[in-house]
Chain A
Amino acid sequence: MKFISAILIPIMKVTGIPLELLFFKRKTYYQYRKMQKRTIKGGALIVSNHHSFWDYIMVFFLFFWYKVRPIVSYEIMHKNKVLTFFLRVVGAIEVSRNPLDMDYINKAVELIRKGKKVIIYPEGHFAPIGKFLPFSNSYLKIAQEANCPIIPLYTDGHYGFFKRNHVMVGTPVYASDFVSDINDKDDREQGNSRFVSNMKEMGEITEKRSKTPLFTFKMFPMDFGKVFIFAHIWPFIRVKVHNCGTRKHNTYEGPLIVSANHISFTDPIVLIKAFFYRRLHFLIAKEVYANKARNAGLNGLGGIKIDRQSFDIDAINNACDVLNKGRALLVFPEGHIIREGEIDAFKNGIAIMSAKTKTNILPIYIAKSKKWYHRHHIFVGDVVKYSPFDMKKMTSTALEVSSKIKALEKIAKDGGYLND
């Protein structure tokens, strides 16, 4: 079988490319793009959600240069002769539905230790599109025993000639990140539920990203305006980004709230330049919308009008819509410009938007420069994770963002960047 497999798999992969291009039309996302590649060194366990038989065929092409061995049930393995032959060729590991059968775990561990790649679908059955079934925690045991990375894989299950499949490859994790004692049932269950919530988060991000095409007519004014304006002012707006967190500012994809202190009218321009690689919407005070031409310009550039004097629920709803579409939103939570002195108290609206749309907040400190045409130094911290939609958590989220920005201010001060 090894010889047949060595010949057939490359043939199937090469001849299947047209099928892949027409049937899957796969769009692959990465949880942390700068850190990830589709190359896997050594053995690994891929853990994926499961919607249909096509899930494995998609993986077959996704990890094009590898033979990924699926763990499949006895019923599927022996469904018909063609399927049995195909699964044997790809090196499938058979598992019976008997909960006492641990043989497949030993086989998987053995293969992974030899540097092979194994994929497991812990749901065990096909889940309806957009939903998850309970995960069996055996994948944690396999990963722990084989001491290998787990690669989470999310697929939206949209396969077909007139559909597009969206897939997210997660950041590799280890079983020890989720469980401390693999033999403790409760610990294992807790670790499993944490992993599942990570998968669900990946699903939500994938769904939001899939709604953000590279080009849309609706976004054309924003993209064109950005390029047109920056073509003229690019040399004058000089920005230096200091990444003080664990990730670079340009590695964030999907919905994101960019939260910064507000020292000048040029702040949005500075931040648009720093985040030039993506569409950055921003909340603008109603007063700035002075005439029709400016209205059209600001709306086209991604501005969202907010009335600071009254209770403007529409602005918050519009901002949430932007985030739900997978875009980034720039917010100045102080609500007004503070040219000198300490950072003001943050409004809690930012926490509500974050919790409602399940979006993380990226804290940024903009250091004041003497003249607008001097180099602008911006300091980027680590994201503040969104809190559950719970009133008690709202104030604490806003405070956390505020304290992170103040910490960045201290870094700027210590580095001598203030009043550069």
Chain B
Amino acid sequence: MTEKEIFDKLVTIVADSLEDESLKEKITMDTNVFTDIEMNSLAILYISMSIENVFGVRITNNDLPNLVLTKDFVKFIKEKVA
């Protein structure tokens, strides 16, 4: 799976979880998932569960501090999927 494919799927997950279609255009690789997008704990939980559902990758408490930007998520998923 390429980074582009992972990014596209990830953006769809985030846009769906926040019910905001405009995010599909706004989110870039350098978007800070926690500050640039307003997310509540439910959305974060939903996104992490969706990542597990879509990519088969489980995010743990230890992984979370390293996942800030969108590209961190993409890199993390790519490493785990490979």
Q: Say whether A392 faces chain B, with CB atoms less than 8 Å apart.
A: yes
Nearest CB of chain B from residue A348's CB, rounded to whole Å: 5
Let me know if A356 and B19 touch, CB within 8 A. no
User: Which residues of chain B have C-beta atoms less than 8 A from A310's C-beta?
Assistant: 61
* Contact status of A314 and B49, CB under 8 A, knowing A348-B42, A352-B42: no
Q: Which of B43-61 contact A (CB under 8 A)?
A: 43-46, 48-50, 53, 58-61
* One of A356, A389, A394 near B42 (C-beta < 8 A): A394
Per-residue CB contact flags for chain B residues 52-75 toward chain A (1 = under 8 Å, else 0) read 010000111100100000000000
Q: Are A313 and B19 in contact (CB under 8 A)?
A: no
Check A313/B53 contact, CB under 8 A, given A348-B42, A352-B45: no
A233 at interface, CB cutoff 8 A: no
Distance between Cα atoms of A395 and B18 in the complex (Å): 13
Contacts of B59 in A (CB 8 A): 313
Chain B interface mostly:
helix
Chain B residues whose C-beta falls within 8 Å of the C-beta of A391 in the assembled complex = 16-19, 42-43, 46
* B17: chain A residues within 8 A (beta carbon): 391
Residue of A nearest to B60 (CB): A314
For B43, give the chain A residue with the smallest CB separation. A391
From A311, A392, A394, contact of B44 by CB (8 A): A311
Interface flag for B2 (CB, 8 Å): no
A330-354 Cβ-contact flags toward B at 8 Å (1 or 0): 0000000000000000001100100
Q: Within the complex, what minimum Cβ distance (angstroms) separates A268 from chain B?
A: 23
- Residue in B closest to A398 when the chains form the complex, CB atoms: B42
**Given that A349-B45, A391-B46 are contacting pairs, would A312 and B61 also be in contact in the complex, using a CB cutoff of 8 Å?**
yes
Q: Cβ of A219 < 8 Å from any Cβ of B?
A: no
B35 within 8 A of A: no
Residues on the A chain within 8 Å of B44, using CB:
311
Q: Quick check: is B22 within 8 A (CB to CB) of the other chain? A: no
Measured CB to CB, the closest approach of chain B to A315, in angstroms, equals 9
State in angstroms the CA–CA spacing of A208 and B77 once bound together. Answer: 28
Q: Is the CB of A311 within 8 A of B64?
A: yes
Given contact pairs A389-B50, A391-B17, enumerate 10 new A-B contacts (beta carbons under 8 Å).
A311-B44, A311-B64, A313-B60, A313-B61, A316-B49, A317-B58, A352-B42, A391-B19, A391-B43, A394-B42
B residues neighboring A (CB under 8 Å):
16-19, 41-46, 48-50, 53, 58-61, 64
9 examples of A-B residue contacts, CB within 8 angstroms = A310-B61, A311-B64, A313-B60, A314-B60, A316-B49, A317-B58, A352-B42, A352-B46, A352-B49
